[in-house]
Amino acid sequence: MKYAKWMKNVGEGFIGEMLRAAQNPEMISFAGGLPALDLFPTQDLQAAFQKVFEEQGNAALQYAQTAGYPELRSWVASQHQRSQRPARTAEVIITTGSQQGLSLLAQTFLDPGDTVFLETPTYLGAIQAFEGFRADFQMIPCDEEGILPDELEKALAFATPKFLYLIPNYQNPSGRVMGLERRIELLKVSQKYGLLLVEDNPYGELRYEGEPIPHLAELGENVIYLGTFSKVLAPGLRIGYVLADEDIIRHLEQTKEGVDLHSNNLTQRAIYEYLQKDLLPDHILKLREVYNVRRKAMVESLQTYLGDRVEMKVPAGGLFLWAKLMGVNNSFDYVQDMIRQNVLYVPGAVFYADGRVSNEMRLNYSCSTPEIIEEGMMRLARGLNQ
Amino acid sequence: MKYAKWMKNVGEGFIGEMLRAAQNPEMISFAGGLPALDLFPTQDLQAAFQKVFEEQGNAALQYAQTAGYPELRSWVASQHQRSQRPARTAEVIITTGSQQGLSLLAQTFLDPGDTVFLETPTYLGAIQAFEGFRADFQMIPCDEEGILPDELEKALAFATPKFLYLIPNYQNPSGRVMGLERRIELLKVSQKYGLLLVEDNPYGELRYEGEPIPHLAELGENVIYLGTFSKVLAPGLRIGYVLADEDIIRHLEQTKEGVDLHSNNLTQRAIYEYLQKDLLPDHILKLREVYNVRRKAMVESLQTYLGDRVEMKVPAGGLFLWAKLMGVNNSFDYVQDMIRQNVLYVPGAVFYADGRVSNEMRLNYSCSTPEIIEEGMMRLARGLNQ
């Protein structure tokens, strides 16, 4: 079969192997990026779906507008500033999860071979979304606050990327945060060169330390912002959104029309119904509380059982802990040993678009209890010491 | 802003104008392709969602498998034959509506400039989905049963398309059906040349006359089949599926992972729950009955009020009536007059990928009562006679 050139050989790949391994009930998986299943506001969502069925019935089951349910778009706009003024409804498009936002942006902006700038390392799903439209990647050097503005400026002297993709809050996989000063410096460079920024913020509300920092989209111009209900509400509902200039939203809408016509109408209305009850702020507080306990448990048991083998920075928010395995060349090499110990992590290499070797690993702490986290860390230590 | 080259100027386009016009409550729109809102099995779907919330709760809100909810995939497989044997679960992928199936196929198979063969005319949404991946189109001449095998063979002498896209049952927009003989002849040609067929069947169950005809995918090899719950259940839920060889499904899965990770988990489970109650067959009987009445009403009032001005063939199923405006050069020219009369149709030209002028119009009869259809036809006659 003659597939498109960008398609890879999809035989027995690494991700398939990990997924199969994760299905073993004995397995402790730190490899996913799942929110905690038992914290979903299932009853409140059930009530919201019920109410939509009762009050809007058939209308919620019909074809709908490509840009999204108007009330939900307005709600999203009401929560956001763009360039220091309130966002407008016409600056919002609802997407089938934030992942679709990335894919729509790629389809709307990229011609094959166009360059996309990435953080080093970055979210695997973004690499996959952009690869699907034949992006060329350039990874911009980062420090513990993310993109280095000087390095970005150097790179811009030699390349004209369509956009720079970044996650300023509790980055996936590194957990790092871009401070306010750095954001302002970055915007100076991006505005000087007319560089479009794609600011992805799935984890921003999952803050366990420090104060919230204004989004790039709030501080400057020429920023596309991606948000999602997956991490604060429920990922299985697949509802996210993009905020951008109206002209960009209209183009994304044109793309989305060919891609899936519109996102699930019933679900958009039910989420709006849920939001109307103003339950989300308390729910987020609860998530922060539980995830913070799990974060601490992971940091502590990592130090207890692998203290001499790892180097890491405590993440101030989000879902992930990122650690270097000292004295190890490639964290990929230990995955099989770990599967035998019934524990999983994601080896760092998959978060680099240039295929480099990495001694890092990404560990998810949001969906395991402290007890399971401790048991998992013991298994990790056994796997490393074999 | 530098968008990808395939993007069109999305200013004040025709479709936007039509959509805005359709929002006027005085408007009678035959322009959509909407199922009848009042026929949705809303209570049964509500019960299905309730049951999923109660019995599966959190699990239905979590991230899920890219290929779809396994039970729903198995159900789809159980309903289908492929190449004269039962379909397998691994041959099914669940998509975010059938529209996503088209887009995933385009992304998975097309390199920019690859050729896609189309019926003449064909579904606008397919043109849009394939355009998003820079397809070159070749329209294969058709008669009242669709693709002419001789013409296809001639075209294959000069071009190597990635696939031929067709709607054998109650085609959109023409309403025509490809008979069994024609299907067999077409498969002979496609198999001789190793041509992949993409068989889209959203309307197959909406049959008002005649006997069902085996799908191309049932009769031969090398056929990708697209199905959907949009027309038989509810389009706002955005659940469709693709049936194909396992290798193709695995590639579509890889593409979908970057595009939206997976389709709405809760909704897939609720649809499966609904299907388990075996309510669909009776629901389809009811749709056939009501739509058949509306089809007859449209045919009759078209003959009454526009008998001397139109040429048409009565469709044996589906949602659309396709008619030629006699003595008219371009049906686009009358759209403004019709908007003034508060009635809408889709001018034929949009269903041709080559931008030709057409004197045809597509009229949807499924979402208007016989009374409204009659009133609409009177308005059409007035618009034409102005």
Give the pLDDT mean for A6-28.
74
Predicted ipTM of the assembly: 0.96
B32 reaches A (C-beta below 8 A): yes
- Output the CA angle B316-B318-B322, nearest 5 degrees: 75
Q: What is the DSSP letter of B349?
A: G
Question: Is any Cβ of chain A less than 8 angstroms from the Cβ of B9?
Answer: no
> Given a cut of 90, is residue A16 above it in pLDDT?
no
DSSP 8-state symbol, B343: E
**What pLDDT, on a 0 to 100 scale, did the predictor assign at position B18?**
75
> Does A56 touch chain B if contact means CB atoms closer than 8 Å?
no
Nearest CA in chain A to B23: A65
Report whether pLDDT(A386) > 90.
Answer: no
- In the sheet where B346-347 sits, what is the strand order? B310-312, B320-325, B360-364, B346-347
In this predicted structure, what is the pLDDT of residue A13?
Answer: 60
The distance of B129 to chain A (nearest Cα, Å) reads: 4
Give the C-alpha separation, B268 to B253, whole Å. Answer: 16
Chain A residues close to B8, C-beta within 8 Å: 254
Over residues A164-216, the pLDDT tens digits come to 999 999 999 999 999 999 999 999 999 999 999 999 999 999 999 999 999 99
The confidence score (pLDDT) of residue A12 equals 47
Helix (H, G, I), strand (E, B) or coil at B366: coil
Q: Are B45 and A53 inside 8 Å of each other by CB? A: yes
Query: Cβ–Cβ of B53/A40 closer than 8 Å?
Result: no
| Cβ within 8 Å, pair B128-A257 | yes
- At residue B1, the pLDDT reads 74
Compute the count of residue pairs across chains A and B with CB atoms less than 8 Å apart.
216
Decide if A4 and B248 are in contact by the 8 Å CB cutoff.
Answer: no
Q: A182-218: b or e for each residue (b if 16 or more CB lie within 10 Å)?
A: bbebbbebbeebebbbbbbbbbbbbbbeeeebebbbb
- A132 lies within 8 A of chain B by CB: yes
A59-94 per-residue burial string, b: 16 or more CB within 10 A, e: under 16: bbbbbbbbbbbeebbbbbbeebebeeeebebebbbb
Q: At residue A81, what are phi and psi to the nearest 5 degrees?
A: -105, 145
Q: State whether A61 and B237 contact (CB < 8 Å).
A: yes
Of chain A, the percentage scoring pLDDT greater than 90 comes to 91
Amino acid at B13: G
| Cβ of residue B256 closer than 8 Å to a chain A Cβ | no
3-state secondary structure chain A: CCCCCCCCCCCCCHHHHHHHHHCCCCCEECCCCCCCHHHCCHHHHHHHHHHHHHHCHHHHHCCCCCCCCHHHHHHHHHCCEECCEECCHHHEEEECHHHHHHHHHHHHHCCCCCEEEEECCCCHHHHHHHHCCCCEEEEECEECCEECHHHHHHHHCCCCCCEEEECCCCCCCCCCCCCHHHHHHHHHHHHHCCCCEEEECCCCCCECCCCCCCCHHHHCCCEEEEEECCCCCCHHHCCEEEECCHHHHHHHHHHHHHHCCCCCHHHHHHHHHHHHCCCHHHHHHHHHHHHHHHHHHHHHHHHHHHCCCEEECCCCECCEEEEEECCCCCHHHHHHHHHHCCEECEEHHHHCCCCCCCCEEEEECCCCCHHHHHHHHHHHHHHHHC
Question: Using the beta-carbon criterion (under 8 Å), do A46 and B32 form an inter-chain contact?
Answer: no
Q: Strands B115-119, B163-166: parallel, antiparallel or unpaired by DSSP?
A: parallel
Quickly tell me which residue has 């390392």 as its tokens.
A121
Q: Which residues of A touch B251 (CB under 8 A)?
A: 1, 3, 7, 10
Token code pair at residue A238: 């697949």
For chain B, say whether A194 makes contact (Cβ under 8 Å).
no
pLDDT value for A383: 92
Q: Is A378 on the interface with B (CB under 8 A)?
A: no
Query: Do A261 and B59 lie within an 8 Å CB cutoff?
Result: no
Nearest to B10 among A7, A32, A254 (CB): A254
Instruction: Please give the single-letter amino acid code of residue B237.
Output: L
- Whether the pLDDT of residue A377 is over 60: the answer is yes
Chain B contact set for A1 (CB, 8 A): 196, 245, 247-248, 251
Distance from CA of A275 to the nearest CA of B (A): 17
Check B57 against A34: CB less than 8 A apart.
no
Find where tokens 């390199």 sit: B111
d(CA A22, CA A30): 9
Nearest to A259 among B58, B132, B266 (CB): B132
Helix (H) or strand (E) holding B298: helix B280-306
Range with the poorest average pLDDT among A14-18, A360-364, B229-233: A14-18
The identity of residue B53, as a single letter, is: F
Is B56 at the interface with chain A, CB within 8 A?
Answer: no
Tell me if A259 and B103 make a contact (CB, 8 A cut-off): yes
pLDDT at A10: 57
| The length of chain A, given as a count of residues | 386
pLDDT per residue rounded down to tens, chain B (386 residues): 789 998 876 554 666 677 777 778 899 999 988 999 999 999 999 999 999 999 999 999 999 999 999 999 999 999 999 998 999 999 999 999 999 999 999 999 999 999 999 999 999 999 999 999 999 999 999 999 999 999 999 999 999 999 999 999 999 999 999 999 999 999 999 999 999 999 999 999 999 999 999 999 999 999 999 999 999 999 999 999 999 999 999 999 999 999 999 999 999 999 999 999 999 999 999 999 999 999 999 999 999 999 999 999 999 999 999 999 999 999 999 999 999 999 999 999 999 999 899 999 999 999 999 999 999 999 999 998 87
Note the pLDDT tens digit of each residue in A72-91.
999 999 999 999 899 999 99
Residue numbers in A near B234 (CB within 8 A): 61-62
- β-pair partners for A200: A226
Q: How near does any CA of chain A get to the CA of B145, in Å?
A: 27
Nearest-by-Cβ selection for B235 from A62, A100, A108: A62
Check residue B161 and give its pLDDT: 98
Give the SS3 label for residue B231: coil
Please report the domains of chain B, with CATH numbers, ordered by start residue.
14-41+282-385 (3.90.1150.10), 43-276 (3.40.640.10)
Q: How far is A222 from chain B (nearest CA, A)?
A: 10
